[in-house]
Amino acid sequence: MIAELVTSVLSGSSDDLTETVTLQSNVVESALEPAVLQMHQYAKLSGLPFWCVTYGDQGPQIVAASGDGLALIPNVQGSVFRDAFGPKVVPLESGLTFYSLPLPPMNGQTAVALGWVQLRPDRRPDDLVLAAVEAGWTKRRVDDWLREQPYAAPELVQKLLEAAWVQVNSASNEKQLRDELMDVAEEIEQTYEEITLLHSLTGNLELTRSPDEIAELCLSRVRELTQAEGAAIWIEDHVGNFRFLSNGTLPMDERGLARLCSRCDRRDWSRPFVKNRTVGTPLEREIPELRNFVLCSIGDPNQQFGWLIHCNAPKEFGSVQASLLQSIARILGTHLRNRELFQQNEDLYMSFVRSMVSTIDAKDSYTRGHSERVALVAKILAEEMRLPVNEVEDIQLSGLLHDIGKVGVDDRILRKQSRLDDDEFEQIKKHPEIGCQILAGLANLERILPGVRNHHESFDGCGYPDRLKGEEIPLMARILAVADSYDAMGSDRPYRAGMPLERIEAIFRENAGPQWDPQVIEAYFAARVNIRKLWSAHCLTDLQSMASNSSINRASHFSQR
């Protein structure tokens, strides 16, 4: 039994034995240790007995055995067993052949699978007899035991060890390859997640998306990839408003992040700032719960929009994580810069549109505010018809510019206070085509041209300039036709007063089909209360503006006298 394993003292029986080796008498079976498991594998594959021996400061120690027997540990010069990198066989003159195979380390100590066999069955090695006597065995027990012990030539032992060594190491190599394959698979999965995230992020960079939407899109998903406890994005938009968005558990608030960023003002922000240890630094006193972080600048050195931070990862932040966060910060910076440029372009664009509308008002003072009111009513109608936001915006813009062609009509006709004759009306009817020609060279306004050209078409095909019928008329133009008619009928003119609402709506009902699209008329009646309220408020604003301008003009006139 294992408890009967004893320590043997070898001395003087061979030139290879140079000193006495004293071992502890207790044997510890550590079945879960990799070294012990591998020792049992060697014994099973080779059919040879083995002991698991460790070499430490106290000398060699037996910690496990593959079976019952006497444990003999040779003290061979040069530590041939302890330092061997493969199978080792050492035959001794005493008639014993010792052998060993390397094992994984145990508790930081070198471990070896060590064993012995007899060279021939008819020999009684003195070492074995002495060890048995010291263990208290009787002669009969010794004789019976010796007859059961394996014996083999050193050459056969060598081949058995090599076969076991190859098979065990093949399994070990296979496990190592499997582990490496799992590591590679995890890296591929991580890379795939990063690529998917970046693809999703870049695919949602429409200029109409707010920075908050983009930031929220990437905050949670990126934190999963970096395994950080907390993440935050702090940005400033084009009008100077600050946004502080966070995800997870942060060791600081917005002010804490501002203080952290202020400490890094002079850094080179072409690379992320990685700090994997704050212990013993001023940051530990200022933000005690901050253990590590990656800080990236959103934008570029010439124009900085904010900061991206991930902090308190369970392990250190590596270069892969830092590079990912830097890429996301650059994407956010590019998006913010593009939005800023887009907004500047939109502002310039709308200034141009307002200038053109003012030009129309200057030529025809009696219809001042008409274009804005038509745009307002058309917008409400488009929203009532559940059109997409971009189409609603185009319809509103087309309403603002639908009469731009009147700049090409004689001022006397526009300002005539009596009804127009046939020739004058023919001149007026040219303004949709003139307006379309004026705007045709502007790529940004191409999408609103159908409303400008066709807002005087009639649903029965009797309108102008193209005599389109029914749904041949662009929907934009059909909506503008109702909005234009509503304002024209409701507004005062030099030759008539504006119609009451009841009369306007009666005309709409009577002419839904012949003149106007029935669906647009239906949308009007669904939104009539809101239309009247906003239209009336706009008319009042126009009257107040006209009165103010009139007073200013009179004051200027008298001052010049």
- What are the backbone dihedrals phi and psi of residue 37, each rounded to the nearest 5 degrees, phi first? -60, -40
Tell whether 167 and 219 lie within a shared domain.
no
Q: Evaluate if residue 523 carries a pLDDT over 50.
A: yes
Tell whether 530 and 384 lie within a shared domain.
yes
503, part of any domain: yes
Tell me which of 190-194, 240-244, 319-323, 461-465 is least confident. 190-194
Tell me which of 42-56, 62-76, 423-437 is least confident. 62-76
356, part of any domain: no
Q: Evaluate if residue 553 carries a pLDDT over 70.
A: no
Name, in order, each residue with C-beta under 8 angstroms of 265's C-beta and a sequence gap of 6 or more: none
- Tell me the C-alpha distance between 527 and 64, whole Å: 91
Q: Evaluate if residue 495 carries a pLDDT over 80.
A: no
Q: What is the mean pLDDT of residues 335-356?
A: 78
* Cα→Cα distances 338→217, 235, 237, Å: 18, 15, 11
Which one has a higher pLDDT value, 515 or 86?
A: 515
pLDDT classification of 89: cutoffs 50, 70, 90: very high
- Tell me the C-alpha distance between 449 and 474, whole Å: 10
**Residue 316, both tokens:** 């250190």
User: Which of these three, 326, 341, 356, is where a domain ends?
Assistant: 341
Q: Evaluate if residue 550 carries a pLDDT over 60.
A: no
**Residue 469, both tokens:** 């019928």
Q: Evaluate if residue 282 carries a pLDDT over 60.
A: yes
341 in Cβ contact with 301 (< 8 Å): no
pLDDT classification of 339: cutoffs 50, 70, 90: confident
| pLDDT value of residue 124 | 77
- Which CATH number characterizes residue 421's domain? 1.10.3210.10
Tell whether 337 and 369 lie within a shared domain.
no
Q: What is the mean pLDDT of residues 126-150?
A: 79
Tell whether 21 and 115 lie within a shared domain.
yes
pLDDT tens by residue, 407-453: 888 878 777 777 788 888 888 899 999 999 988 877 778 899 999 99
Q: What is the mean pLDDT of residues 9-25?
A: 33
Tell whether 526 and 425 lie within a shared domain.
yes
Which one has a higher pLDDT value, 3 or 290?
A: 290
Tell whether 24 and 111 lie within a shared domain.
yes
- Tell me the C-alpha distance between 256 and 190, whole Å: 31
455, part of any domain: yes
Q: What is the mean pLDDT of residues 196-224?
A: 70
Tell whether 154 and 224 lie within a shared domain.
no
Which one has a higher pLDDT value, 405 or 127?
A: 405
Tell whether 85 and 133 lie within a shared domain.
yes
For residue 84, what are the domain limits? 2-173
| pLDDT value of residue 486 | 93
Q: What is the mean pLDDT of residues 283-305?
A: 84
| pLDDT value of residue 456 | 95
| pLDDT value of residue 3 | 24
| pLDDT value of residue 507 | 94
118, part of any domain: yes
Tell whether 33 and 95 lie within a shared domain.
yes
240, part of any domain: yes
- Tell me the C-alpha distance between 308 and 215, whole Å: 10
Domain count, the chain: 3
| pLDDT value of residue 242 | 79
3-state secondary structure of 9: coil
pLDDT tens by residue, 96-112: 888 999 999 988 888 99
Tell whether 331 and 397 lie within a shared domain.
no
User: Which of these three, 173, 192, 221, is where a domain ends?
Assistant: 173
| pLDDT value of residue 494 | 66
- Tell me the C-alpha distance between 524 and 529, whole Å: 9
98 in Cβ contact with 74 (< 8 Å): yes
466, part of any domain: yes
pLDDT classification of 4: cutoffs 50, 70, 90: very low
| pLDDT value of residue 342 | 78
- Tell me the C-alpha distance between 92 and 118, whole Å: 10
| pLDDT value of residue 118 | 86
Query: What is Dmax (Cα atoms) for the chain?
Result: 148
Q: What is the mean pLDDT of residues 387-404?
A: 92
Listed residue (395, 366, 340, 331) closest to 542, CA to CA: 366
Q: What is the mean pLDDT of residues 468-497?
A: 89
Q: What is the mean pLDDT of residues 458-485?
A: 95
Mean per-residue pLDDT over the chain, rounded: 79
Q: What is the mean pLDDT of residues 361-385?
A: 84
Share of the chain above pLDDT 70, in %: 80
| pLDDT value of residue 346 | 76
Tell whether 117 and 216 lie within a shared domain.
no
Provide the residue type at 365 as one letter.
S
187, part of any domain: no
314, part of any domain: yes
Transcribe 253-272 into DSSP letters. -HHHHHHHHHTTTTS-TTS-
Tell whether 7 and 112 lie within a shared domain.
yes
- What are the backbone dihedrals phi and psi of residue 278, each rounded to the nearest 5 degrees, phi first? -105, -5
- Which CATH number characterizes residue 327's domain? 3.30.450.40
pLDDT tens by residue, 234-263: 887 666 677 888 888 888 888 888 888 877
Q: Evaluate if residue 203 carries a pLDDT over 90.
A: no
User: Which of these three, 156, 173, 190, is where a domain ends?
Assistant: 173
